[in-house]
Amino acid sequence: MSLKTPVAIHSKLPDVGTTIFSVIGQLSAQHQAINLSQGAPNFPCDPALVDSVSRAMQEGHNQYAAMMGLPALRDALASKVQALYGQQYDAASEVLITGSASQGLYMAITALVHQGDEVIFFEPAFDSYAPVVRLQGGKPIGLKLQVPSFAIDWDQLRAAITPRTRMIIINTPHNPSAQVLTPD
Question: What pLDDT, in 10s, does the model give residues 71-92?
Answer: 999 999 999 999 999 999 999 9
Contact yes or no for 134/13 (Cβ under 8 A): no
pTM here? 0.77
Distances (CA, A) of 68 to 53, 91, 102, 103, 182: 21, 10, 16, 13, 31
Show Cβ contacts of residue 156 under 8 Å, excluding neighbours closer than 6 positions: 143, 144
Contact yes or no for 82/76 (Cβ under 8 A): no
Residue 132 has a pLDDT of 94
Q: How many CA atoms lie within 13 A of 160 on its CB side?
A: 21
Q: What is the DSSP track for 99-117?
A: SSHHHHHHHHHHHH--TT-
What are 23-78's pLDDT values in tens digits? Answer: 878 888 899 888 777 776 778 899 999 999 999 999 998 888 889 999 999 999 99
Show Cβ contacts of residue 2 under 8 Å, excluding neighbours closer than 6 positions: none
Report helix, strand or coil for 140: strand
pLDDT for 3 beyond 60: yes
Residue 146 sits at φ, ψ, to 5 deg, of -75, 130
